[in-house]
């Protein structure tokens, strides 16, 4: 005959069942993580970062007078104005402003900013369209390196390449590269070329 009190045997069985499910769930998460890490390691080994593409951009050729005054400038084969400069020769205010606007956590992440990804995903879902991106400076360098269209597949490739890039280059080298190849309107690439052209 059943009374209003819970049966201790039922409670123990329910507790054991919940523990088994929790253990299975934890084991599944661990296995999924191991499989993802293994897949990333294999992909990393099979698709090394194409460093030669980082240097593929032509620079603007300049003929100068003996005092250094530019007399003639010629664009590269891709018809882009590009005058790369070392980061140390560029304004620290420009570098700080670029990081503040483009990638606030640039110095903290390893190529992909997980908080920016969550924020962008939430904003895009609630708006029902793409209103925000999560590209880091490293991801943008990788996008410019390959001139990919802006799709989810491209974003995934850029994220993977950005993780690789961060293992090969320092933060300052990545920032320097960005400041030298980022579009500044029309066919002007890089801050130095923009300063000279405008």
Place of tokens 């923009």: 194
0.75 surpassed by pTM? no
Condensed to tens digits (0 to 9), the pLDDT of residues 179-194 reads 999 999 888 999 988 8
Portion of the chain with pLDDT greater than 90, in percent: 33
Place of tokens 């708006």: 127
- Which residue in 48, 93, 75 sits closest to 187, CA to CA? 75
Cα 49 from Cα 127, distance rounded (Å): 35
CB 59 within 8 A of CB 83: yes
């Amino acid at each position: 005959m059943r009374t209003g009190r819970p049966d201790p045997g039922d409670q123990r069985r329910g507790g054991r069942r919940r523990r088994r499910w929790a253990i299975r769930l934890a084991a599944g998460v661990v296995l999924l993580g191991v499989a993802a890490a293994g897949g990333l390691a294999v992909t990393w080994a099979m698709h090394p970062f194409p460093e030669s593409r980082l240097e593929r951009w032509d620079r603007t050729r300049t003929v100068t007078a003996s005092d250094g005054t530019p007399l003639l400038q010629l664009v590269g084969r891709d018809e882009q104005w590009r005058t790369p400069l070392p980061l140390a020769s560029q304004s620290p205010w420009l570098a700080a402003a670029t990081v503040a606007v483009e990638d606030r956590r640039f110095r903290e992440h390893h190529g992909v900013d997980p908080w920016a990804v969550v924020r962008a995903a939430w904003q895009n879902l609630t708006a029902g369209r793409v209103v925000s991106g999560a590209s880091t400076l490293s991801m943008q360098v990788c996008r410019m390196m390959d001139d990919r269209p802006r799709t989810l597949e491209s974003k995934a490739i850029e994220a993977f390449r950005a993780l690789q890039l961060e293992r090969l280059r320092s933060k300052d080298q990545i920032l320097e590269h960005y400041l030298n190849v980022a579009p500044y309107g029309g066919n002007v690439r890089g801050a130095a070329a923009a300063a000279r052209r405008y």
